[in-house]
Amino acid sequence: MKTKNLSYLSLIALAAWGTTAAVAGLPRAVSLNDDQAAEIATTLAGLSLNSLGSSATDDQVASVPFFQASPAHVLSAALATLNQNDRGLANANLYEFVLLNEGEMPGLTVRETVTRLHLFLNAIRPEKLENAVIHPTVEAALNARALPAVSYANDLSYKGGVGGIGVETAPKIYLVLWGSQWKNNDPSGEVGILTNFYKGVGGSAWLNSVTQYHQGVPVGTYISSGGTAAGNQAGMLAGIWSDNSASAPAHPTQAQLAAEAVKAAAHFGNTSAKANASVQYIIATSHGNSASGFGTQYCAWHSYTSSSYGNIAYSNLPYLTDAGASCGAGFNGLGAKAGITMVAGHELGETITDQFPSGGWTDSTGAENGDKCAWISSGQGASANVTLSTGTFPVQSLWSNGYTGGAGGCVLSFP
């Protein structure tokens, strides 16, 4: 076994591995032999609260089973040590992590376990997003529906727009593959899937529900006939840019994602407010390269930023299969890659109807047309495959105010 960088060993008190480590209110850690101690020490040497150092382990170490006995107890010691400056937070953190992962841990490799730890620790300290609407994880959506109904039984209404713009009247999509990390690093084939989906989605019956939402109508409008409708024309995908001359930040912040969107606007020649009035930039980060909170706090989100080119609408679209079932893998029997287009379609529909959040169409709680229908597994609006001109893709439904005579509901086609 190679030990490449053990700078974290001072934090991973070896006594916790060789003997036992007590964590208040939780079981004591199991006793580990020297090889197990070295294995976890080597792995955790590359783990910080903000980044996962892949150089800390070689492939052989990373691919072996994590632990055969009581992995959750071992992780309790690991998390407690990593958070030693805040013991109370450590106890709360590891309790949640164990609940989320205990059943699966015996079958996970070192790499898989540490990746989950990494995503979890990032989510513990989520970035505060500005003017952003997140796509909830599967677990978050199910938890919300277990609460008394608030945002799932009321229609969207118009919020007046931002700078006179509430919807995208002739949507254009620009897909940005951000960072040199994309080179030879697309194991799920997400670029091809997204490209074909965006090429075929315009003009589809699935997306057509957005056309019932207009701008230039009074604030508070529910059913609109005046103003200008959101668009659903064919050929929405206007360009793809592989911005791979340099690496993207390992865990980009909202400000960095916004800056990349502005950079993309310049790249595509959209250098005026008029040129960006009906445009959205999809900032896609590669496998293993996501913003803080992905997979636990959210699956994706969309927002906007001001610039000398006018307001710029953009989405943060991480590498969806990295989050597994939390962001749609296997959802409703639609396949391991189902989350890719389910989440991408969610953000697309929301940006068209609420281009600059939240000046477009939202309900009384701030939920958009995608939020209200996320992760439905049965009954009206259940996620399903739809066939476009470019192939068949898993999608979620979108909210329609006009469904069932104005009562509203989640639909897979409109009218």
pLDDT higher at 209 or 85: 209
- What is the mean pLDDT of the segment spanning 372-387? 97
pLDDT higher at 115 or 342: 342
Give the model confidence (pLDDT) of 229-288 as tens digits: 999 999 999 999 999 999 999 999 999 999 999 999 999 999 999 999 999 999 999 999
Task: List all residues 6 or more positions away from 85 whose beta carbon is below 8 Å from its beta carbon.
Answer: none
Task: List all residues 6 or more positions away from 320 whose beta carbon is below 8 Å from its beta carbon.
Answer: 188, 190, 299, 300, 327, 328, 329, 337, 339, 340, 343, 344
Indicate the SS3 state at residue 142: helix
**pLDDT winner (highest mean) among 55-59, 131-135, 266-270:** 266-270
pLDDT higher at 32 or 3: 32
**What's residue 127's pLDDT?**
74
Q: Is 334 within 8 Å of 126 (Cβ atoms)?
A: no
pLDDT higher at 136 or 126: 136
Q: How many whole angstroms separate alpha carbon 296 and alpha carbon 324?
A: 11
**What's residue 104's pLDDT?**
57
**pLDDT winner (highest mean) among 66-70, 174-178, 294-298:** 174-178
Range with lowest mean pLDDT among 11-25, 26-40, 120-134, 194-208: 11-25
Single-letter residue type at 271: T
pLDDT at 152 > cutoff 90: no
pLDDT higher at 131 or 369: 369
Question: Which residue do the tokens 């993309």 mark?
Answer: 264
**What's residue 144's pLDDT?**
67
pLDDT tier at 34, thresholds 50, 70, 90 = very low
pLDDT tier at 13, thresholds 50, 70, 90 = very low
Domain assignments of the chain as residue spans, ordered by start: 7-124, 141-411
pLDDT tier at 301, thresholds 50, 70, 90 = very high
Q: Is 135 within 8 Å of 342 (Cβ atoms)?
A: no
pLDDT at 7 > cutoff 90: no
- How far is the first Cα of the chain from the last one, in angstroms, to the nearest whole number? 62
pLDDT at 156 > cutoff 90: yes
**What's residue 365's pLDDT?**
86
In degrees, rounded to 5, the angle at the alpha carbon of residue 328 between the alpha carbons of residues 70 and 411 is: 145
Strand pairing category for 237-243 and 157-158 = unpaired
Tokens of 367: 């939920």
**What's residue 112's pLDDT?**
60
**What's residue 186's pLDDT?**
98
Tokens of 412: 């897979």
**What's residue 39's pLDDT?**
47
Return the number of other C-beta atoms located less than 10 Å from residue 65's C-beta: 14
**What's residue 122's pLDDT?**
52
- What is the mean pLDDT of the segment spanning 57-85? 43
pLDDT at 20 > cutoff 60: no
- What is the mean pLDDT of the segment spanning 305-324? 98
Tokens of 167: 């919807």
Q: Which helix (H) or strand (E) holds 344?
A: helix 338-353
Indicate the SS3 state at residue 390: coil
Give the model confidence (pLDDT) of 94-125 as tens digits: 445 544 555 555 556 555 665 565 555 554 44
pLDDT higher at 298 or 74: 298
Question: Which residue do the tokens 């958070």 mark?
Answer: 83
- What is the mean pLDDT of the segment spanning 202-208? 98
Count how many Cα atoms sit within 13 Å of the Cα of residue 376 in the half-sphere of its side chain.
23
Q: How many whole angstroms separate alpha carbon 77 and alpha carbon 30?
A: 9
In degrees, rounded to 5, the angle at the alpha carbon of residue 211 between the alpha carbons of residues 208 and 216 is: 170
pLDDT higher at 124 or 174: 174
**What's residue 350's pLDDT?**
98
pLDDT at 93 > cutoff 60: no
pLDDT at 314 > cutoff 60: yes
E-strand ranges in 343-397 read 361-362, 384-388, 391-395
Q: Is 355 within 8 Å of 167 (Cβ atoms)?
A: yes
pLDDT tier at 140, thresholds 50, 70, 90 = confident
pLDDT tier at 324, thresholds 50, 70, 90 = very high
